[in-house]
Amino acid sequence: ARKFDLVISSAVLHFARDEQHFQKMVNEMWRVLKPGGLFLRGWQVQSGLSSWSSR
């Protein structure tokens, strides 16, 4: 089985059909990540950066 030092998930997990599908995707990312590896994720947000700049 291949293992990776870095796994990146950017604007992907919100496409899960349901909780079970979401968990399956996350489990697969953890499965291929080397011990001590880095997992980076980004979430797609509706409000965008403009709402953060107004805070």
pLDDT in tens, 4-45: 999 999 888 888 899 999 999 999 999 999 999 999 988 766
C-alpha distances in angstroms, 46 versus 1, 4, 30? Answer: 37, 31, 27
What pLDDT score was predicted for residue 12? 86
Prediction pTM value: 0.67
Residue 50 has pLDDT above 80, yes or no: no
Q: Is the pLDDT of residue 51 over 60?
A: no
Counting residues of the chain whose pLDDT is more than 70, the rounded percentage is 76
What's residue 55's pLDDT? 46
